[in-house]
């Protein structure tokens, strides 16, 4: 059963616009809508308030939007690929791998730069994709991804990498280093800037386009491997493609925002609950919903604990889990 | 007249006392002074915790690098039984056995049987202190919000350790030195100074840290006026743009230009970057509230009064 997605998508877009409008007002500088209008239409970088709006608040909101979209999409794909509602974007150890990569640079690279580039995001990306690769190699047999094996390999590798990260945290004697590592284990958007926004934007754009093309295959996979094969789906190849898309999306997000939990688990559920399992607009709606959710969480984080905000991963869990539980109970009834 | 006489006597005998103190290291514990049997001291530390310490503690140590510096300045150095892995000043401290403070090496500490352990808030957890108390080792906390608190801390140490004259002498000379710094001309209005401790995320010295008092004594002003619950709050770039500090401390201009301002190019608009007033104070002087605090104030004064970097 599926519902028409268009009204939901339009409502989400309206919500996005409303959240952006509110989000542009939240911060240390006093700003009003007249100023926001001026900054958007006739940007004057000499005015510090306008600079703050355009260079700091706007990229932060957009990064939250893209991160939410990326993680929600990635979770949607993962759940479909392994046909298990417990799957999330970090199933493949991406989150712990990213956190480990970043922590390593803080502990062993005093200057934090490699060839003039700021190293932590790069290391996070390398760590995320590296651990993913190991999990995929362990979780596949003769070129085929085996979902149960993949799930187990992901959980095991995740524990191992988390343990190594824990060891590094334990050995990091200074309080400041611990704080950085905390950031890399809970996530946040404070470092958002225009220079790095194109990467998650490209990842989400390409991911959405590819998934639009792969939608029939994705829905066939939901029928289970045997029936999908019987209906002529090249299951092995489809799974590899989906895996590639999901890892790319998660990696791009983790590298910039750290591993933000829970979005990738709860948003796909909410999407299917509202629109049905195989709806045509599911992917787009899922991305929008995820984006809105993270923008809202970031706003809450900043309002609750100004100025820097709580780590957004805490907020997603604190507000997301009760809602998720409510949803589960209601569904079960 | 008697007071004058006493002062003169003290003045004459002080070198002798100091000499005696310097000689004591070789034979401290063996010839126990007769007053060793005196009643133990009931003390209340800066956290309001009560503890019982021998009348004349002869085995002491500190769990904070700053406190080790305090002990070396006031105590009979032969009574200091150990240091932690981070205590590296004065150089003489390096010869003492090392007790790991993080994670706390309880077994080695207990084996050394100190009469009392000194530490500061924020360095030793109260859980560790509680554990030590249960094992029969009293832990004395000191806390410093102002430079004056450090002087009071030194005086307290002198009283607890039976080294009142040494502590008074030290504190008097530190106060005189500080007064000399304070009497120097001050700019008006005072430059606002933002001292960063970590770049990603950005953590700074908040209003409720010793830094606020030190920079005031140096003729500046902590740029962070708002009081946060955390002494070292995390700040957003937006917040720092609004503070627009005159001076940034935390690294040389070259270093911060290639790290901090590379990571946050938007912050290049702040006054401190535009006028290149970005300086690198000595880490240990910034972070250790000890007897070198006046040296730290002097260093800060030198930095905030120096001409902008070329």
pLDDT tens readout for residues B276-296: 999 999 999 999 999 999 999
Give the model confidence (pLDDT) of A185-239 as tens digits: 778 888 888 888 998 999 999 999 999 999 888 888 888 888 888 988 888 888 8
Each domain of chain A, given as residue ranges in start order, spans 6-332
CA A69, CA B229: separation in Å to the nearest integer? 34
Q: Is the CB of B266 less than 8 angstroms away from the CB of A28?
A: no
Preferred mutation among A308, A310, A311, A313 to probe B, highest tally of B CBs within 10 A: A308
Residue B234, class by beta-carbon neighbours within 10 Å (0-12 exposed, 13-18 middle, 19+ buried)?
buried
Per-residue pLDDT tens digits for B43-66: 999 999 999 999 999 999 999 999
- Contact criterion met (CB < 8 Å) for A190 and B198: no
**What topology does CATH give the domain B191-305?**
Rossmann fold (3.40.50)
Average pLDDT over residues B253-263: 90
Do residue A27 and residue B238 have CB atoms under 8 angstroms apart?
yes
Residue ranges of the domains in chain B?
A: 45-177, 191-305
CB atoms within 10 A of CB A237: 12
Nearest CA in chain A to B244: A48
**Cα gap A68→B200, rounded to integer Å:** 22
Confidence tier at B216 by pLDDT (50, 70, 90): very high
DSSP class of residue B292 equals: T
What backbone torsions phi and psi does residue A140 show, to the nearest 5 degrees? -130, 155
Q: Output the six-digit token pair for A14.
A: 């309206």
Query: Inter-axis angle of helices A147-171 and A94-108, to 10 degrees?
Result: 20
* Conformation bin of residue A262: beta by default, left when phi > 0, alpha when psi is -120 to 50: left
CATH 3.40.50.1980 fits B45-177, yes or no: yes
Residue B210: which of B139, B290, B295, B301 has the closest Cα? B290
Q: Which of residues 120 through 139 in chain B touch A, CB cutoff 8 A?
A: none
Give the nearest partner residue to A29 out of B86, B242, B266, using CB atoms: B242
Q: What is the DSSP letter of A143?
A: T
Closest residue in chain A to residue B202, using alpha carbons only:
A308
Three-state secondary-structure class, residue A146: coil
Q: What is the domain class of A6-332 according to CATH? A: mainly alpha
**CA A93/CA A88 separation, integer angstroms:** 10
Compute the distance between CA of residue B278 and CA of residue B275 in angstroms, rounded to an integer. 8
B202 and B233 Cβ atoms separated by less than 8 Å: no
Q: What is the pLDDT of residue A155?
A: 87
How much is the average pLDDT of A275-297? 90
pTM over 0.80: no
Using the beta-carbon criterion (under 8 Å), do A173 and B237 form an inter-chain contact?
no
Least confident range of A220-224, B259-263, B265-269: A220-224
């Amino acid at each position: 059963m599926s519902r028409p997605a268009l009204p939901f998508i339009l409502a989400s877009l309206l919500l996005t616009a409303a959240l952006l409008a509110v989000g542009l007002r939240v911060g240390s500088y006093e700003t009003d809508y007249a100023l926001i209008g001026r900054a958007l239409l006739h940007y004057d970088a000499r005015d510090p308030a306008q600079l703050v709006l355009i260079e700091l608040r706007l990229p932060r909101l957009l990064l939250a939007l893209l991160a939410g979209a990326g993680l929600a999409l990635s979770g949607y794909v993962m759940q479909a690929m392994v046909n298990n509602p417990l799957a999330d974007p970090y199933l493949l150890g991406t989150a712990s791998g990213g956190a480990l990569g970043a922590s390593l640079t803080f502990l062993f690279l005093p200057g934090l730069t490699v060839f003039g580039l700021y190293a932590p995001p790069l290391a996070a990306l390398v760590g995320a994709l590296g651990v993913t690769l190991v999990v995929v190699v362990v979780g596949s047999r003769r070129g085929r991804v085996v979902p149960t094996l993949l799930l187990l390999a992901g959980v095991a590798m995740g524990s191992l990498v988390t343990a190594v990260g824990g060891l590094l945290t334990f050995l990091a004697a200074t309080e400041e280093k611990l704080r950085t590592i905390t950031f890399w284990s809970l996530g946040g958007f404070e470092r958002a800037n225009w220079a790095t926004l194109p990467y998650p934007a490209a990842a989400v754009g390409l991911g959405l386009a590819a998934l639009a093309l792969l939608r029939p295959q994705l829905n066939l996979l939901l029928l289970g491997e045997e029936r999908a094969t019987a209906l002529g789906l090249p299951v092995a190849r489809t799974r590899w493609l989906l895996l590639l898309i999901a890892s790319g999306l998660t990696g791009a997000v983790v590298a910039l925002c750290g591993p933000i939990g829970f979005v990738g688990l709860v948003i796909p559920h909410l999407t299917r609950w509202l629109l049905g399992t195989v709806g045509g607009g599911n992917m787009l709606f899922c991305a929008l919903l995820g984006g809105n959710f993270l923008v809202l969480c970031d706003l809450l984080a900043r309002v609750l604990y100004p100025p820097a905000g709580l780590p957004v991963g805490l907020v997603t869990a604190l507000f997301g889990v009760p809602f998720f539980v409510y949803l589960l109970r209601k569904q079960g009834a | 007249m008697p007071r004058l006489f006493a002062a003169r006597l003290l003045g004459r005998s002080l070198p002798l006392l100091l000499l005696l103190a310097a000689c004591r290291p070789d034979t401290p514990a063996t010839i126990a002074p007769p007053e060793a049997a005196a009643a133990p001291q009931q003390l209340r530390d800066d956290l309001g915790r009560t503890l019982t310490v021998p009348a004349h503690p002869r085995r002491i140590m500190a769990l904070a690098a700053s406190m080790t510096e305090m002990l070396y300045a006031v105590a009979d150095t032969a009574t200091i039984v150990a240091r932690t892995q981070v205590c590296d000043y004065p150089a003489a401290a390096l010869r003492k056995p090392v007790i790991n403070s993080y994670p706390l090496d309880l077994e080695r500490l207990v084996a050394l049987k100190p009469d009392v352990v000194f530490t500061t808030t924020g360095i030793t957890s109260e859980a560790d202190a509680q554990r030590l108390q249960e094992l029969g080792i009293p832990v004395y906390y000191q806390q410093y919000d102002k430079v004056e608190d450090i002087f009071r801390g030194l005086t307290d140490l002198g009283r607890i350790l039976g080294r009142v004259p040494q502590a008074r002498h030290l504190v008097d000379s530190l106060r005189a030195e500080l007064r000399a710094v304070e009497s120097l001309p001050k700019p008006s209005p005072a430059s606002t100074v933002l001292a960063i401790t970590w770049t990603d995320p950005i953590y700074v010295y908040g209003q409720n840290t010793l830094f606020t008092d030190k920079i005031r004594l140096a003729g500046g002003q902590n740029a962070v006026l708002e009081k946060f619950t955390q002494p070292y709050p995390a700040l957003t770039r937006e917040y720092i743009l609004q503070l627009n500090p005159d001076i940034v401390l935390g690294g040389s201009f070259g270093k911060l230009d290639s790290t901090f301002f590379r990571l946050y190019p938007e912050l290049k608009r702040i006054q401190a970057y535009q006028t290149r007033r970005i300086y690198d104070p000595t880490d240990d002087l910034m972070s250790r509230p000890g007897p070198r605090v006046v040296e730290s104030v002097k260093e800060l004064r030198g930095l905030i009064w120096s001409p902008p970097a070329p």
